[in-house]
Amino acid sequence: VASGSKLVSGGMRKNPTLICVPIMGESVDKMVVDMGKANASGADLVEIRLDGLKNFNPRENIKTLIKESPVPTLFTYRPIWEGGQYDGDENERVDVLRLAMELGADYIDVELQVAREFNDSIRGKKPEKCKVIVSSHNYQYTPSVEDLSNLVARIQASGADIVKFATTALDITDVARVFQITVHSQVPIIGLVMGERGLISRILCAKFGGFLTFGTLENGIVSAPGQPTIKDLLDLYNFRQMGPDTKVFGIIGKPVGHSKSPILYNEAFKSVGFNGVFVHLLVDDIAKFFQTYSSNDFAGFSCTIPHKEAAVKCCDEVDTVAKSIGAVNCIIRRQSDGKLFGYNTDYVGAISAIEDGLRGRLNVSGGVSSALAGKLFVVIGAGGAGKALAYGAKAKGARVVIANRTYGESLTFLRLMSWLLLNTLLFDSVIVIRILLFTWHLKFFIAANIIHLGNHLEWVTAAFNLFFYLTCNSYVVMEKTEILRT
């Protein structure tokens, strides 16, 4: 690895951002068990959600929970009007929070609506070790930067030790406004964006200076929409190793949560000590995404359906092959000037995997000609991936057949490809499949059984080496076998 690359090594913590595990059992006994699991998982603290308890005895239960917790405790007693489960007397609810503070809680979460009154009532009585988190939750949208700034000011004015606000992402670009508030905050701040489009706020807060994030013990058992598991934060995203200089990479798509790319890339980054993180990016409008996340912090992207063709127009420069195919699946931001460069590694990954599979099945070793030469090659779909496959297969000497739902798009695609490859006006034939359900089922079957992991490994290997070389101005070649081993 050349000296110009930015690497991290060892297990030393690179940021102060805490990981808090929400504890939401219906009984104290269950909560105690879960607090032990949270500690074993690496949590810095636990959020005890009192509003989920059945048969709640405040003094006795809180004493037990504080005594049995192996990590610091944050007590929350969330009312229905702020997204919680408590629907009783408001004065009794606030009294319980005061009691938790008196009995030794490390943190108390109080809603902005009642915070000033609460803080006035504990003035001169609050234990030194207890910090009050004043929170505000917006379940409809994410306000403007100006409105968020005003919200933070109101929370500070209410007497908060720690500011917390959570909004809802209608678009992934909403998260950028929260990052802007967080990174410039002069007080401890928790700024999170709920929902799948807001996932990066919960991961990248370690980079942008957030006080804490929430990580659950299990998938789906969440206290707010979009929370990742603590295992994913620590093991998948390498949360402790993130810092202000960490480069952000991700896979752009819709849908995108199913993608295994973060597993492969983050393991590859760790294996060579590269200071980067790879995340899921649920993007609705790719042009808007690139306009919003235009800093060099966001260094490289994989691109999947439905954005591969639209991504071409977003790039400042496009590789010759990608331009020929008309689709981009790998985008790199040049660090010297921020320009976006588009590449296509789809055809390399898919064709190489299929060639390997054919050689193994036919028991033939690699030679001068491709194992695809002269073979009938059926491509289902005329989108970005279909174009890449057809281009690669035809270049290898295969006879290509396109199956698509609409004839017009197939014809346009084939004319373009034929011209690009200086071949006949059309490829061998066009098959139009008009039944949508059949098309998708067949496409999934072929993708799962022919390309499967091989395609992904070839694709990731090519893209990883592009990411690393163009981001670090140094060269590390990671072979497919190395990525598979990690």
Active site (catalytic) residues = 137, 164, 308, 346
Going across the sheet that includes 429-432, the strands are 376-380, 399-404, 429-432
Diameter over CA atoms, the chain: 86
- The neighbouring-strand residues paired with 163 are 134, 189
* Cβ atoms of 105 and 59 closer than 8 Å: no
Q: Which residues contact 122 (CB under 8 A, 6 or more apart)?
A: 98, 101, 132
Report the 10 Å Cβ neighbour count for 440.
Answer: 14
Q: CB-hemisphere CA count at 13 Å for 150?
A: 5
CA dist 384 and 391 (Å) reads: 11
CA dist 396 and 413 (Å) reads: 18
Three-state DSSP at 433 gives coil
In degrees, rounded to 5, the angle at the alpha carbon of residue 152 between the alpha carbons of residues 147 and 155 is 125
CA dist 468 and 268 (Å) reads: 10
* Cβ atoms of 105 and 75 closer than 8 Å: yes
Token pair belonging to 48: 């005890």
For tokens 């849908």, what's the residue? Answer: 255
Is 383 exposed, middle or buried, given 0-12, 13-18 or 19+ CB atoms closer than 10 A? middle
